[in-house]
Chains A and B, each alone.
Chain A
Amino acid sequence: MKTPPGNKPFLSDSVSRNEDNALVRRALKGDRKAFEMIILKYQQPLLNYLGRMTGERELAMDFTQEVFLKVYGSLSSFQPRFKFSAWLFKVASNFMIDSWRKKKISTVSLDRTRDDGENPCSLQIPDAGPPVAKRYELAQIKKRIEGALRLVPEELRELFVLRHINEFSYEEIAEIKGLPVGTVKNRVFQAKEMLRGLLEESS
Protein backbone atom coordinates (compact mmCIF):
# COMPACT_ATOMS: atom_id res chain seq x y z
CA MET A 1 0.00 0.00 0.00
CA LYS A 2 1.48 3.33 -1.01
CA THR A 3 -0.26 5.57 1.46
CA PRO A 4 -1.47 4.32 4.82
CA PRO A 5 -3.68 6.86 6.58
CA GLY A 6 -5.86 9.20 4.68
CA ASN A 7 -4.36 8.10 1.38
CA LYS A 8 -1.50 10.57 1.83
CA PRO A 9 2.13 9.46 1.66
CA PHE A 10 4.05 10.33 4.80
CA LEU A 11 6.74 7.73 5.22
CA SER A 12 8.92 5.72 2.90
CA ASP A 13 7.91 2.12 2.47
CA SER A 14 10.81 0.58 4.36
CA VAL A 15 10.63 3.09 7.23
CA SER A 16 6.91 2.44 7.55
CA ARG A 17 7.55 -1.30 7.48
CA ASN A 18 10.19 -1.14 10.22
CA GLU A 19 7.95 1.10 12.25
CA ASP A 20 5.07 -1.37 11.89
CA ASN A 21 7.24 -4.29 12.93
CA ALA A 22 8.48 -2.37 15.99
CA LEU A 23 4.90 -1.51 16.95
CA VAL A 24 3.84 -5.14 16.58
CA ARG A 25 6.73 -6.30 18.78
CA ARG A 26 5.77 -3.79 21.45
CA ALA A 27 2.08 -4.70 21.22
CA LEU A 28 2.98 -8.36 21.64
CA LYS A 29 4.77 -7.47 24.87
CA GLY A 30 1.51 -5.99 26.12
CA ASP A 31 2.12 -2.34 25.18
CA ARG A 32 -1.40 -1.07 24.54
CA LYS A 33 -0.11 2.31 23.40
CA ALA A 34 1.71 0.58 20.53
CA PHE A 35 -1.48 -1.14 19.43
CA GLU A 36 -3.30 2.17 19.67
CA MET A 37 -0.72 3.62 17.28
CA ILE A 38 -1.36 0.75 14.88
CA ILE A 39 -5.09 1.50 15.03
CA LEU A 40 -4.56 5.21 14.46
CA LYS A 41 -2.31 4.50 11.51
CA TYR A 42 -4.62 2.06 9.74
CA GLN A 43 -8.14 3.02 10.80
CA GLN A 44 -8.65 5.34 7.83
CA PRO A 45 -7.63 2.93 5.02
CA LEU A 46 -9.40 0.07 6.76
CA LEU A 47 -12.63 2.03 7.16
CA ASN A 48 -12.41 3.15 3.51
CA TYR A 49 -12.06 -0.48 2.44
CA LEU A 50 -14.81 -1.85 4.67
CA GLY A 51 -17.07 1.11 3.89
CA ARG A 52 -16.86 0.47 0.17
CA MET A 53 -17.27 -3.26 0.67
CA THR A 54 -20.30 -3.16 2.96
CA GLY A 55 -21.86 0.00 1.56
CA GLU A 56 -23.06 0.86 5.04
CA ARG A 57 -21.41 3.30 7.40
CA GLU A 58 -22.44 1.87 10.76
CA LEU A 59 -21.65 -1.65 9.67
CA ALA A 60 -18.27 -0.55 8.31
CA MET A 61 -17.39 1.03 11.67
CA ASP A 62 -18.44 -2.11 13.56
CA PHE A 63 -16.42 -4.24 11.15
CA THR A 64 -13.40 -1.99 11.55
CA GLN A 65 -13.49 -2.56 15.30
CA GLU A 66 -13.96 -6.30 14.85
CA VAL A 67 -11.05 -6.52 12.41
CA PHE A 68 -8.74 -4.66 14.80
CA LEU A 69 -9.76 -7.04 17.59
CA LYS A 70 -9.08 -9.99 15.34
CA VAL A 71 -5.72 -8.48 14.42
CA TYR A 72 -4.88 -8.04 18.11
CA GLY A 73 -5.78 -11.66 18.78
CA SER A 74 -3.67 -12.89 15.86
CA LEU A 75 -0.65 -10.62 16.28
CA SER A 76 1.53 -13.51 17.40
CA SER A 77 0.96 -15.21 14.03
CA PHE A 78 2.24 -12.19 12.07
CA GLN A 79 5.58 -12.86 10.41
CA PRO A 80 7.75 -9.71 10.20
CA ARG A 81 9.09 -10.70 6.79
CA PHE A 82 5.63 -9.93 5.39
CA LYS A 83 4.25 -6.45 5.10
CA PHE A 84 2.00 -5.60 8.04
CA SER A 85 -0.49 -3.58 5.99
CA ALA A 86 -0.93 -6.49 3.57
CA TRP A 87 -1.39 -8.89 6.49
CA LEU A 88 -3.93 -6.58 8.13
CA PHE A 89 -5.96 -6.37 4.93
CA LYS A 90 -5.76 -10.14 4.57
CA VAL A 91 -7.40 -10.39 7.98
CA ALA A 92 -9.99 -7.81 6.90
CA SER A 93 -10.63 -9.62 3.63
CA ASN A 94 -11.13 -12.95 5.41
CA PHE A 95 -13.47 -11.21 7.82
CA MET A 96 -15.53 -9.81 4.93
CA ILE A 97 -15.70 -13.21 3.26
CA ASP A 98 -16.92 -14.77 6.52
CA SER A 99 -19.57 -12.08 6.83
CA TRP A 100 -20.77 -12.66 3.29
CA ARG A 101 -21.00 -16.34 4.02
CA LYS A 102 -22.98 -15.80 7.19
CA LYS A 103 -25.47 -13.47 5.59
CA LYS A 104 -25.83 -11.49 2.45
CA ILE A 105 -25.15 -7.89 3.42
CA SER A 106 -27.81 -5.47 2.32
CA THR A 107 -26.36 -2.36 0.79
CA VAL A 108 -27.23 1.09 2.02
CA SER A 109 -26.06 4.35 0.52
CA LEU A 110 -22.74 5.64 1.75
CA ASP A 111 -23.43 9.12 0.57
CA ARG A 112 -26.47 9.92 2.63
CA THR A 113 -26.56 13.54 3.69
CA ARG A 114 -24.49 14.64 6.66
CA ASP A 115 -27.44 16.03 8.52
CA ASP A 116 -27.94 12.90 10.60
CA GLY A 117 -25.76 14.35 13.33
CA GLU A 118 -25.59 11.04 15.22
CA ASN A 119 -23.66 9.41 12.45
CA PRO A 120 -20.03 10.47 12.45
CA CYS A 121 -19.02 8.39 9.44
CA SER A 122 -19.93 10.59 6.52
CA LEU A 123 -18.13 11.70 3.42
CA GLN A 124 -15.61 14.45 3.88
CA ILE A 125 -16.54 17.08 1.31
CA PRO A 126 -13.93 19.84 1.51
CA ASP A 127 -15.24 23.23 2.49
CA ALA A 128 -12.97 25.28 0.30
CA GLY A 129 -12.12 24.47 -3.30
CA PRO A 130 -13.80 24.76 -6.68
CA PRO A 131 -16.78 27.08 -7.23
CA VAL A 132 -20.20 25.90 -6.02
CA ALA A 133 -21.40 24.69 -9.44
CA LYS A 134 -18.19 22.77 -10.06
CA ARG A 135 -18.28 21.31 -6.56
CA TYR A 136 -21.85 20.20 -7.11
CA GLU A 137 -20.85 18.54 -10.37
CA LEU A 138 -17.92 16.76 -8.74
CA ALA A 139 -20.07 15.64 -5.85
CA GLN A 140 -22.62 14.29 -8.31
CA ILE A 141 -19.96 12.30 -10.20
CA LYS A 142 -18.58 10.85 -6.96
CA LYS A 143 -22.08 10.00 -5.82
CA ARG A 144 -22.74 8.19 -9.08
CA ILE A 145 -19.46 6.31 -8.81
CA GLU A 146 -20.26 5.23 -5.24
CA GLY A 147 -23.67 4.07 -6.44
CA ALA A 148 -22.28 2.22 -9.45
CA LEU A 149 -19.53 0.63 -7.37
CA ARG A 150 -22.13 -1.07 -5.20
CA LEU A 151 -23.45 -2.82 -8.30
CA VAL A 152 -20.07 -4.32 -9.18
CA PRO A 153 -19.86 -7.95 -7.97
CA GLU A 154 -18.12 -8.28 -4.60
CA GLU A 155 -15.14 -10.27 -5.81
CA LEU A 156 -14.36 -7.65 -8.47
CA ARG A 157 -15.26 -4.70 -6.26
CA GLU A 158 -12.91 -5.85 -3.52
CA LEU A 159 -9.92 -5.94 -5.84
CA PHE A 160 -10.90 -2.59 -7.36
CA VAL A 161 -11.18 -1.00 -3.89
CA LEU A 162 -7.84 -2.42 -2.77
CA ARG A 163 -6.20 -1.08 -5.93
CA HIS A 164 -7.84 2.30 -6.42
CA ILE A 165 -9.15 3.31 -2.99
CA ASN A 166 -6.45 1.78 -0.79
CA GLU A 167 -3.77 2.09 -3.47
CA PHE A 168 -2.15 -1.28 -2.96
CA SER A 169 0.07 -2.49 -5.77
CA TYR A 170 -1.11 -5.43 -7.87
CA GLU A 171 1.58 -7.57 -6.24
CA GLU A 172 0.39 -6.66 -2.75
CA ILE A 173 -3.21 -7.43 -3.68
CA ALA A 174 -2.08 -10.78 -5.06
CA GLU A 175 -0.42 -11.47 -1.69
CA ILE A 176 -3.50 -10.39 0.27
CA LYS A 177 -5.91 -12.45 -1.79
CA GLY A 178 -3.64 -15.36 -2.59
CA LEU A 179 -4.21 -14.92 -6.32
CA PRO A 180 -1.79 -14.71 -9.25
CA VAL A 181 -0.86 -11.13 -10.20
CA GLY A 182 -2.25 -11.64 -13.70
CA THR A 183 -5.63 -12.65 -12.31
CA VAL A 184 -5.69 -9.60 -10.05
CA LYS A 185 -4.87 -7.28 -12.98
CA ASN A 186 -7.52 -8.88 -15.13
CA ARG A 187 -10.21 -8.64 -12.45
CA VAL A 188 -9.39 -5.03 -11.61
CA PHE A 189 -9.66 -4.26 -15.33
CA GLN A 190 -13.03 -6.03 -15.48
CA ALA A 191 -14.23 -4.02 -12.49
CA LYS A 192 -13.19 -0.75 -14.12
CA GLU A 193 -14.88 -1.54 -17.40
CA MET A 194 -18.01 -2.67 -15.55
CA LEU A 195 -17.99 0.53 -13.54
CA ARG A 196 -17.60 2.57 -16.73
CA GLY A 197 -20.50 0.69 -18.34
CA LEU A 198 -22.71 1.24 -15.29
CA LEU A 199 -21.90 4.95 -15.26
CA GLU A 200 -22.72 5.20 -18.96
CA GLU A 201 -26.04 3.47 -18.39
CA SER A 202 -26.95 5.79 -15.56
CA SER A 203 -26.11 8.99 -17.47
Chain B
Amino acid sequence: MNCLRPADIYLYLENGLDPAAAREADEHLVLCPGCRSAFEERRALMDAVAGIPDLEVPPDLAAKVLARIPPDRSSRFGWFIAFIIGLSSFFLGGLTYVILTGQSLPGFLIDAIRSAWDVMRDASLAFIKFAKVTVLGLDLLVKFIGEIGKGLARLGALISPEVYAASLLLFLALTALLVAGLRRMFLHGEKS
Protein backbone atom coordinates (compact mmCIF):
# COMPACT_ATOMS: atom_id res chain seq x y z
CA MET B 1 0.00 0.00 0.00
CA ASN B 2 1.14 3.57 -0.71
CA CYS B 3 1.80 5.99 2.12
CA LEU B 4 -1.30 7.53 3.73
CA ARG B 5 -2.41 10.96 2.57
CA PRO B 6 -3.13 13.47 5.38
CA ALA B 7 -6.82 13.53 4.37
CA ASP B 8 -6.95 9.73 4.75
CA ILE B 9 -5.29 9.95 8.15
CA TYR B 10 -8.06 12.27 9.37
CA LEU B 11 -10.69 9.97 7.88
CA TYR B 12 -9.03 7.02 9.61
CA LEU B 13 -9.13 8.92 12.91
CA GLU B 14 -12.84 9.65 12.41
CA ASN B 15 -13.58 6.03 11.42
CA GLY B 16 -14.48 7.41 8.01
CA LEU B 17 -12.51 4.90 5.94
CA ASP B 18 -14.26 1.82 4.63
CA PRO B 19 -13.30 -1.41 6.48
CA ALA B 20 -10.91 -2.65 3.77
CA ALA B 21 -9.08 0.68 3.55
CA ALA B 22 -8.94 0.90 7.35
CA ARG B 23 -7.37 -2.59 7.53
CA GLU B 24 -4.78 -1.60 4.92
CA ALA B 25 -4.03 1.59 6.84
CA ASP B 26 -3.60 -0.46 10.05
CA GLU B 27 -1.08 -2.72 8.35
CA HIS B 28 0.75 0.18 6.70
CA LEU B 29 1.05 2.15 9.93
CA VAL B 30 2.87 -0.78 11.54
CA LEU B 31 5.41 -0.90 8.71
CA CYS B 32 5.94 2.80 7.86
CA PRO B 33 7.56 5.04 10.52
CA GLY B 34 6.91 8.19 8.44
CA CYS B 35 3.17 7.58 8.25
CA ARG B 36 3.13 6.53 11.90
CA SER B 37 4.71 9.85 12.87
CA ALA B 38 2.25 11.79 10.69
CA PHE B 39 -0.60 9.79 12.19
CA GLU B 40 0.52 10.40 15.80
CA GLU B 41 0.88 14.11 15.12
CA ARG B 42 -2.66 14.39 13.78
CA ARG B 43 -4.08 12.16 16.47
CA ALA B 44 -2.55 14.44 19.11
CA LEU B 45 -4.15 17.44 17.42
CA MET B 46 -7.57 15.82 17.26
CA ASP B 47 -7.32 14.60 20.86
CA ALA B 48 -6.51 18.14 21.96
CA VAL B 49 -9.40 19.55 19.91
CA ALA B 50 -11.77 16.99 21.45
CA GLY B 51 -10.65 18.19 24.87
CA ILE B 52 -11.55 21.83 24.29
CA PRO B 53 -14.02 22.57 27.08
CA ASP B 54 -17.51 24.00 26.68
CA LEU B 55 -18.06 27.67 27.23
CA GLU B 56 -19.96 28.28 30.43
CA VAL B 57 -23.60 29.16 29.81
CA PRO B 58 -24.94 31.85 32.12
CA PRO B 59 -27.78 30.36 34.20
CA ASP B 60 -30.18 33.17 33.25
CA LEU B 61 -29.70 32.97 29.47
CA ALA B 62 -33.07 31.31 28.80
CA ALA B 63 -34.84 33.78 31.10
CA LYS B 64 -33.20 36.70 29.29
CA VAL B 65 -34.35 35.40 25.90
CA LEU B 66 -37.90 34.73 27.12
CA ALA B 67 -38.08 38.20 28.67
CA ARG B 68 -37.49 39.67 25.21
CA ILE B 69 -40.27 37.66 23.61
CA PRO B 70 -43.55 39.61 23.53
CA PRO B 71 -46.54 38.09 25.35
CA ASP B 72 -48.27 35.21 23.65
CA ARG B 73 -49.94 36.32 20.45
CA SER B 74 -51.61 33.04 19.66
CA SER B 75 -53.39 32.33 22.92
CA ARG B 76 -56.51 30.21 22.48
CA PHE B 77 -58.48 32.93 24.30
CA GLY B 78 -56.94 35.71 22.22
CA TRP B 79 -59.93 36.05 19.89
CA PHE B 80 -62.35 36.10 22.82
CA ILE B 81 -60.38 38.85 24.56
CA ALA B 82 -60.29 40.86 21.33
CA PHE B 83 -64.08 40.39 20.94
CA ILE B 84 -64.74 41.56 24.50
CA ILE B 85 -62.46 44.58 24.05
CA GLY B 86 -64.21 45.46 20.76
CA LEU B 87 -67.68 45.15 22.28
CA SER B 88 -66.70 47.17 25.35
CA SER B 89 -65.21 49.89 23.16
CA PHE B 90 -68.43 50.05 21.13
CA PHE B 91 -70.62 50.47 24.19
CA LEU B 92 -68.22 52.92 25.82
CA GLY B 93 -68.07 54.97 22.60
CA GLY B 94 -71.86 54.85 22.30
CA LEU B 95 -72.33 55.91 25.88
CA THR B 96 -69.92 58.82 25.45
CA TYR B 97 -71.75 59.86 22.27
CA VAL B 98 -75.14 59.73 24.00
CA ILE B 99 -73.85 61.77 26.96
CA LEU B 100 -72.13 64.38 24.79
CA THR B 101 -74.89 64.85 22.20
CA GLY B 102 -77.87 64.38 24.49
CA GLN B 103 -79.41 61.95 22.00
CA SER B 104 -81.68 59.28 23.44
CA LEU B 105 -80.24 55.79 23.83
CA PRO B 106 -82.88 54.09 21.60
CA GLY B 107 -82.24 56.74 18.94
CA PHE B 108 -78.54 56.11 19.10
CA LEU B 109 -79.03 52.34 18.81
CA ILE B 110 -81.34 52.76 15.79
CA ASP B 111 -78.73 55.01 14.13
CA ALA B 112 -75.99 52.51 14.90
CA ILE B 113 -77.99 49.61 13.47
CA ARG B 114 -78.84 51.65 10.37
CA SER B 115 -75.15 52.54 9.85
CA ALA B 116 -74.13 48.92 10.31
CA TRP B 117 -76.77 47.88 7.78
CA ASP B 118 -75.43 50.45 5.27
CA VAL B 119 -71.89 49.19 5.73
CA MET B 120 -73.00 45.57 5.25
CA ARG B 121 -75.00 46.45 2.14
CA ASP B 122 -72.03 48.34 0.61
CA ALA B 123 -69.69 45.48 1.48
CA SER B 124 -72.07 42.95 -0.11
CA LEU B 125 -72.25 45.03 -3.30
CA ALA B 126 -68.47 45.30 -3.41
CA PHE B 127 -68.16 41.55 -2.89
CA ILE B 128 -70.62 40.84 -5.73
CA LYS B 129 -68.63 43.13 -8.04
CA PHE B 130 -65.40 41.45 -7.02
CA ALA B 131 -66.92 38.01 -7.68
CA LYS B 132 -68.06 39.13 -11.17
CA VAL B 133 -64.57 40.43 -12.00
CA THR B 134 -63.03 37.17 -10.73
CA VAL B 135 -65.38 35.09 -12.89
CA LEU B 136 -64.52 37.23 -15.94
CA GLY B 137 -60.80 36.87 -15.17
CA LEU B 138 -61.12 33.09 -14.85
CA ASP B 139 -63.04 32.96 -18.11
CA LEU B 140 -60.25 34.89 -19.83
CA LEU B 141 -57.63 32.61 -18.29
CA VAL B 142 -59.44 29.49 -19.51
CA LYS B 143 -59.67 30.95 -23.03
CA PHE B 144 -55.99 31.91 -22.89
CA ILE B 145 -54.95 28.39 -21.84
CA GLY B 146 -57.19 26.98 -24.60
CA GLU B 147 -55.45 29.18 -27.18
CA ILE B 148 -52.03 28.06 -25.92
CA GLY B 149 -53.19 24.43 -26.26
CA LYS B 150 -54.32 25.07 -29.81
CA GLY B 151 -51.02 26.80 -30.59
CA LEU B 152 -49.04 23.86 -29.22
CA ALA B 153 -51.15 21.42 -31.24
CA ARG B 154 -50.44 23.40 -34.45
CA LEU B 155 -46.75 23.59 -33.52
CA GLY B 156 -46.76 19.82 -32.99
CA ALA B 157 -48.13 19.32 -36.48
CA LEU B 158 -45.38 21.51 -37.98
CA ILE B 159 -42.29 20.11 -36.21
CA SER B 160 -41.04 16.54 -35.94
CA PRO B 161 -42.14 14.43 -32.92
CA GLU B 162 -38.51 14.22 -31.69
CA VAL B 163 -38.13 18.01 -31.53
CA TYR B 164 -41.55 18.29 -29.95
CA ALA B 165 -40.66 15.69 -27.28
CA ALA B 166 -37.28 17.33 -26.63
CA SER B 167 -38.93 20.76 -26.20
CA LEU B 168 -41.50 19.29 -23.85
CA LEU B 169 -38.78 17.60 -21.79
CA LEU B 170 -36.79 20.83 -21.64
CA PHE B 171 -39.87 22.70 -20.48
CA LEU B 172 -40.59 20.11 -17.80
CA ALA B 173 -36.96 20.15 -16.61
CA LEU B 174 -36.97 23.95 -16.34
CA THR B 175 -40.25 23.85 -14.45
CA ALA B 176 -38.86 21.21 -12.05
CA LEU B 177 -35.75 23.33 -11.47
CA LEU B 178 -37.87 26.40 -10.81
CA VAL B 179 -40.08 24.53 -8.35
CA ALA B 180 -37.03 23.03 -6.60
CA GLY B 181 -35.43 26.47 -6.34
CA LEU B 182 -38.58 28.01 -4.91
CA ARG B 183 -38.96 25.16 -2.41
CA ARG B 184 -35.37 25.64 -1.29
CA MET B 185 -35.90 29.36 -0.93
CA PHE B 186 -39.18 29.28 0.94
CA LEU B 187 -39.34 25.99 2.79
CA HIS B 188 -35.91 24.98 3.93
CA GLY B 189 -34.51 27.00 6.76
CA GLU B 190 -34.61 30.58 7.70
CA LYS B 191 -33.62 33.23 5.23
CA SER B 192 -32.34 36.29 6.96
Interfacial residues, chain A to chain B (CB-CB below 8 A): 6-7, 28-30, 32, 35-36, 39-40, 43-44, 47-48, 51, 57, 60-61, 64-65, 68-72, 74, 77-79, 82, 87, 90-91, 94-95, 98, 110, 120-126, 138, 141-142, 145-146, 164-165, 185, 189, 192-193, 195-196, 199
Contact = CB atoms under 8 A, between A and B. Distances in A.
B54 A72 contact: no
A60 B55 CA distance: 10
A39 B61 contact: yes
Query: Which 5 pairs show the lowest CB-CB distances between chains A and B?
Result: A30-B72, A74-B190, A39-B62, A90-B189, A120-B58
A30 B74 contact: yes
Interface of B: 6-7, 10, 41-42, 45-46, 48-59, 61-62, 64-66, 68-69, 72-76, 186-192
B192 A94 contact: yes
State the majority secondary structure of interface residues on A.
Answer: helix
Contact of B187 (A43, A79, A164): A79
A65 B68 contact: yes
A172 to B, nearest CB: 12
A95 B191 CA distance: 10
Contact of B190 (A7, A43, A91, A122): A91
A47 B65 CA distance: 13
B192 A70 contact: yes
Given A30-B73, A79-B187, A145-B52, A121 B58 contact: yes
A3 B93 CA distance: 59
A25 to B, nearest CB: 12
A141 B57 contact: no
Given A32-B72, A125-B53, 17 more contacts: A30-B72, A35-B66, A43-B61, A47-B61, A65-B65, A70-B192, A87-B189, A120-B56, A124-B54, A138-B48, A141-B48, A141-B51, A142-B53, A164-B46, A196-B41, A196-B42, A199-B45
B6 A43 contact: no
B190 A64 contact: no
Nearest to A170: B16
Contacts of A61: 58, 61
A193 B65 contact: no
Given A74-B190, A94-B192, A121 B69 contact: no
A68 B52 contact: no
Contacts of A146: 52
Contacts of A164: 46, 49-50
Given A124-B56, A195-B45, A30 B75 contact: yes
A189 B14 CA distance: 12
A65 B68 CA distance: 9
Given A69-B69, A94-B190, A189 B10 contact: yes
A82 B72 CA distance: 26
B190 A192 contact: no
B123 to A, nearest CB: 30
Contacts of B46: 164, 192
B52 to A, nearest CB: 6
A43 B62 contact: yes
A36 B62 CA distance: 6
Contacts of B72: 30, 32
Contacts of B50: 164
A121 B55 contact: yes
Contacts of A36: 62, 66
A170 to B, nearest CB: 8
Nearest to A72: B69
Given A120-B56, A142-B51, A82 B189 contact: yes
11 contacts: A32-B66, A32-B72, A36-B66, A44-B57, A47-B54, A48-B54, A64-B61, A82-B189, A124-B55, A141-B48, A189-B6
